Each structure stands twice: as structure tokens, then as C-alpha cells.
A and B are shown apart, each in its own frame.
Chain A
Amino acid sequence: MEILLISSVFLVLMVLGAPIGTALGVAGVVTIYQFDLGIEMLGVNFSSGIASFPLLAIPFFVLAGVILDRAGLAATIARFFELLVGKSTGGLAMVAVMTCIFWGSLSGSGPATTAAVGMILLAPMIKHGYDKSFAGATIANASDLSIILPPSIAFIIYGNITSVSVSALFVAGIIPGLLTGAGTVLVAYLVSRRRSYRGIARRGNRVELWQAFRKSIWALLAPVVILGGIYSGIFTPTEAAVVAVFYSLFVAVFIYRSIHWRDMIDMLVDAAVTSSVIMFIVVFAGIFTWTASVIGVIDRAAELIVSIAPNAIVMIILIDLLLLALGMVLDAISISYLLMPILIPVLKAFGIDPVWYGVIFISALAVGQATPPVGVNLFTAANLINSDVDSVAKEAIPYVLMDVVVLIILSLLPILSLYLPIKAGLYSP
């Protein structure tokens, strides 16, 4: 009865188009009220669901991303990669992927990366004869990397739910992220070769390359500062995030001189809103899963999974399929909150490493961001080129297939995810 109530209220509200946070919150509150689980704590729980130091990394990383975006850093970086690889076949497509990889290591959100890189590179790609849906699909898919490569909001959330060290998760994402990135560059190249998308006319000479490098060095250093600090254990992710904010501000105001103090209010408001959209889901998802666990849904669902799956590999494959399906209709944060509490006991039962599993979990979700009907990156890209999601999605198929191959490799080889965090001394399985 309890289970029926909480799940049906949530599902009905989702189908009716209520915001996810509202749907989760109402389902939780109705169930708490109906079964007398302590509704009077709602106010205080709302507050304590947000007031967490690890989650503080979210508004800070978002703010750093907004500042670097306004400072026009995406264009500087794109120019550098263009001089580097622009001339070869599919040059601009590869430039787009590389810029996304780089931007992904500054920003923790897929749609933000799609927007930042798309604004810079979609127009030149289309001008150089690329099919516009292919151009959109390339950027939408490469932007998936933002949630695998650190800093990643998805990993912060995963760490918050599972109590796994976010530093370890960030570092664990590096090799898988670069591997996915390499795969994406390869697909961009192969498709471009088949369709004979030429590179741009000439390669930059050494002087130009050096100048572009010098101009982008401050931007290129940003991930080194952020990641280096986390990898060496100097900063917690939240501290790294706040350092990233002031590094970006310094670079934007004093080096590139591209933003003024007057722009600050705008940027702060945008970052506050983006972070609040995430936190609105986080806080009510927290109340929802708390309720679900009190009424025993979580335990029963976990037992069900353990009883269905004969071994860990089958379990991982089943959940991967579920994630790919859910990723098409829901955002990464809600899915993490809906599934991870159920999966924690399952991981324990099968003896699966939670950091390694985090990488697989988030990688599977990342694929979902670039698959229809709801893939958020696809929507952003389709909007930028005034096209419909379906034609962009069709062009994304080769990328999605490659993503699935990488996902299988990551599922078979835990070492790819665990080597760096163990080596950095951030994690011992």
C-alpha cells in the first residue's frame, strides 16, 4: 500500500509534466503524512538536505563555469585546437570534440558544455559543409564527457548518496573520461572521412600556434589547478571548486579583461539559479528516498534485484540497460537519487566496488543525456541549430554505439577506473 502510494503519486505527477522536484516532494510528503512518519520535520529536513559542505561544490563549480564561459574562454581554446588539428579530415569535428573534452574538465554539466561549445563551433562547422545535425550530434555527445571528467556534478551527487569520497570519484573519472573522449574523436574522424568533410584550408604555422597557446595557457592551466589540487589531496572538491571560482575570476578580469565587475551580478544570479535547479531536485529527492527507505521500498527493491540477478555481471548489465532507458526520460540527478539508495545494498551483496561502480553508473547516465526523447544535451544542441531533436539523435547513433563499447570496456576492466585513485592514495578498495 505504502509503496503503491509513493510510486504512483510520483509517476502520475511526472507524466503530467510537474517539475521533477515537485513530483518527488509531493510524493514524499503525501506518504509521510498518510503513514504518520513525522511531517513536522519537513521544514528542518528541507534545510538540512541542502546544508552540506560537499554539496557546496555544486554552486561553486557552476559559478566557475559561468565565469569562464562569459570570459570567452571557449573560443580561445577552440582556436588553439583549430590550429592544431583543424587541417586534417573532419578537422572541425575533432576540434569540437577536443574543445568539449577540455570544457568538460572545467564544467560539470553536460548541457552547459553543449551550449558553451555549440555557440562557438556550430556555425563554422555548418559553414564548412558539415551536416548541421551531425555537427549538433557531435557536440551533444562529446558534452557527455563533462559528467565523467572531473569536476562532475553527477559525481558530487553520487558521492553524497553513497558516502563515497568525491575526490576518489573525480580522480577515477579521468581515464574513463579520456578513453570516451578518444573514442569520440575517432568516431568524428571516421564519419567525416566517409562523408569527406574536409579540414580547413591551412594549418597554423609555428608562430601562430605558439601565440594561440600563449593566449590559452591560462585557460589550459585551469583544469591542472583544479585536478592537481584534488589529485594531490591538497584540496577537497569543495575547496577546489572555490579556488576554481577565484582562478576564473582572476583570469577573466585581469588576464583576458573580457568581463567587467558590472557583469558580476548577472553571472552570480545565473549560477545561483542553475545550482538551485539542481538543489531543488536534490532536496526533495532526499526526502523522497528517506520516505521510501522508511516504508521499506528500498530494501524490497534491493532484495528483488539480488534475487533476479544470478551474479554481479548480470546485475551490472541489467542496471546498465535500466540506466540507458531511464537516461532517455529523466535527468542524471533524479536517476541517481531514485536508483542509488536501492543499489547500495546490492553492491554490498555482490561485493562490487562503489567507486568503480560510480564510474560505470555515471558513464551509462552520460549516454542517456545524448539519447532521445529527453537527452538534455540533444535538446540544447537542437535548439542551437534550430533543428528537431530526432534528426540530431539519428546522427548521434554512431557516437552512442561507441559509448556503449566504452561502457562495456569499463565494466570489464575495473583497473581503468581504480588505478588513479588508488595510486593517488585517495582510495583503497
Chain B
Amino acid sequence: MRSRKPIRADYWIAAVLLMSMALIAFVNVLSRYFIHFSIGATEEITINLFVWMTVVGTGIAFERGAQLGMVTFFNLFPLRMRKSLVVFSALLGAGLFILVCGYMVQAIYDELTLFHATSAALGIPVWIYYTGVPLFSVFVFRGIYRGTLARLAVIDGKAS
């Protein structure tokens, strides 16, 4: 059962991010109730790791075909049209993330050159938190690509 295959980079990143979120939040709960010392400022780190984890997880979800959608009508279309639709939604999904990343890079640039804003609780420059989104979006694009190939293969399987 247990394979010795090396664990993929995106799996490692998603796992480490979620585990860190849980650990920071848990230590925060413990310190608040048992030593009455709040490290509430770390909340800021947790929620930003959450953003990064969501980006990595979204990529894996696209690859696994786990995104929720309405299939009632989709399944009524002829197979050839379904193939085009799969490619079409993949392009839309990728386009959406290209826009998100593009405007995020713009925001990072503005922060570095103009605003120099720092976070409310810890005083960390906000652009550091922003960088995770375009960086980890690489996994989203790869996930969309792989997930689309897999769905096309399933439809081809039905056709033959």
C-alpha cells in the first residue's frame, strides 16, 4: 500500500503550510488560556499562510478534477462538444488566475516603489504576503493543464 515514491513539491508545500497554520493557531490558543499571554499578532501570519495554501490546494484540486460544477447540462452535450467545453473552461480558469497574478504583481510593484505599506499587527511589509499568490499560482496553471488532459482522456475513453 504505502509507496516509497518521493512526495511531490506541491504536496509538501500544501502540507507544511496547513501544519504551520494549525501549529501557530494552537500555540496561540494554549498561550492565551494557560499562560494568559496572547500572541494574537501571529493571527496575521496564519491567515496569510491560508491564502497561500488555498492557491496551492486549488492547483491540486484542478488536477484531481475536484472542483465543483454543474454537470447536469454538460452531460447532455455531444462528446465532441464536451471536449471543447472542457478546454474552454480550462482557458477561462487559467485566464482568471493570469489576471489575479498580473494585478498582484502590479500591487507588489506599487508596494515596493510607492506605498511601502506594512501589516497592521506585525509590521511586516505587505508585499511579502502578496508574493505567495503569483508564486504558487504556477501550481494552479499546471493543475489546470493536467486536469484538463485527464478529463479529455476520460471523454476520449467514452467515445471509443
Which residues of B sit under 8 angstroms from A19, Cβ to Cβ?
67-69, 89, 93
Within 8 A of B (CB), among A1-34: 13-23, 25-26, 29
Contact residues of A: prevailing secondary structure: helix
Decide: A51 and B60 in contact? CB cutoff 8 A. Answer: no
A319 and B85 CA atoms in complex are apart in Å by 33
Which residues of A sit under 8 angstroms from B89, Cβ to Cβ?
13, 16-19, 22
CB distance from B67 to the nearest CB of A (A): 4
CB distance from B72 to the nearest CB of A (A): 5
Q: Which residue of B lies closest to A51 (CB)?
A: B47
Decide: A276 and B54 in contact? CB cutoff 8 A. Answer: yes
Interface string of A259-279 (1 = CB under 8 A from B): 000101100110111111101
Cβ-defined partner of B25 (8 Å) among A13, A42, A242, A283: A242
A44 interface hit (Cβ, 8 Å): yes
A281 and B66 CA atoms in complex are apart in Å by 12
A50 and B102 CA atoms in complex are apart in Å by 18
Which residues of A sit under 8 angstroms from B85, Cβ to Cβ?
16-18
Decide: B15 and A47 in contact? CB cutoff 8 A. Answer: no
Q: Which residue of A lies closest to B72 (CB)?
A: A373
Within 8 A of A (CB), among B56-97: 56-58, 60-61, 64, 66-74, 82, 85-86, 88-89, 92-93, 95-96
Which residues of A sit under 8 angstroms from B95, Cβ to Cβ?
26
A280 and B17 CA atoms in complex are apart in Å by 17
Binds B, one of A127-135, A181-189, A232-240: A232-240
Within 8 A of B (CB), among A36-93: 39-44, 46-47, 50-53, 55-56, 59-60, 63
Which residues of B sit under 8 angstroms from A39, Cβ to Cβ?
99, 103
Decide: A20 and B69 in contact? CB cutoff 8 A. Answer: yes
A329 interface hit (Cβ, 8 Å): yes
A246 interface hit (Cβ, 8 Å): yes
A102 and B62 CA atoms in complex are apart in Å by 31
CB distance from B29 to the nearest CB of A (A): 5
Which residues of A sit under 8 angstroms from B57, Cβ to Cβ?
272-273, 275-277, 279
Decide: B61 and A277 in contact? CB cutoff 8 A. Answer: yes
B7 interface hit (Cβ, 8 Å): yes
A390 interface hit (Cβ, 8 Å): no
Decide: A331 and B26 in contact? CB cutoff 8 A. Answer: no
Decide: A17 and B51 in contact? CB cutoff 8 A. Answer: no
Which residues of A sit under 8 angstroms from B67, Cβ to Cβ?
19-22, 277, 280
Given A26-B96, A262-B2, A330-B70, decide whether A46 and B133 contact each other with a Cβ distance below 8 A: yes
Decide: B29 and A235 in contact? CB cutoff 8 A. Answer: yes
Cβ-defined partner of A46 (8 Å) among B11, B72, B86, B104: B104
CB distance from B143 to the nearest CB of A (A): 10
Within 8 A of B (CB), among A172-215: none
Decide: A273 and B60 in contact? CB cutoff 8 A. Answer: yes
Within 8 A of A (CB), among B1-35: 2, 7, 11-12, 14-15, 17-19, 21-22, 25-26, 29, 33
A50 and B54 CA atoms in complex are apart in Å by 8
A84 and B55 CA atoms in complex are apart in Å by 45
A374 and B101 CA atoms in complex are apart in Å by 33
Which residues of B sit under 8 angstroms from A95, Cβ to Cβ?
none
Decide: B60 and A53 in contact? CB cutoff 8 A. Answer: no
Cβ-defined partner of B68 (8 Å) among A271, A275, A331: A331
Decide: B46 and A56 in contact? CB cutoff 8 A. Answer: yes
Cβ-defined partner of B18 (8 Å) among A51, A272, A329: A272
Which residues of A sit under 8 angstroms from B19, Cβ to Cβ?
264, 268
A245 interface hit (Cβ, 8 Å): yes
Cβ-defined partner of A246 (8 Å) among B7, B26, B86, B104: B26
A383 and B79 CA atoms in complex are apart in Å by 22
CB distance from B145 to the nearest CB of A (A): 15
What are 28 A-B pairs at a CB distance below 8 A? A15-B73, A16-B74, A19-B69, A19-B93, A21-B67, A22-B92, A39-B103, A43-B130, A50-B47, A56-B25, A56-B50, A59-B21, A59-B50, A60-B21, A63-B22, A239-B25, A245-B22, A265-B7, A265-B12, A272-B14, A272-B60, A273-B66, A275-B57, A283-B54, A330-B70, A331-B68, A334-B68, A373-B72
Which residues of A sit under 8 angstroms from B71, Cβ to Cβ?
17, 374
CB distance from A225 to the nearest CB of B (A): 12
Given A26-B96, A268-B14, decide whether A15 and B25 contact each other with a Cβ distance below 8 A: no
Cβ-defined partner of A265 (8 Å) among B15, B70, B100, B105: B15
Q: Which residue of B lies closest to A47 (CB)?
A: B51
A100 interface hit (Cβ, 8 Å): no
Decide: A280 and B15 in contact? CB cutoff 8 A. Answer: no
Which residues of A sit under 8 angstroms from B107, Cβ to Cβ?
40, 43-44
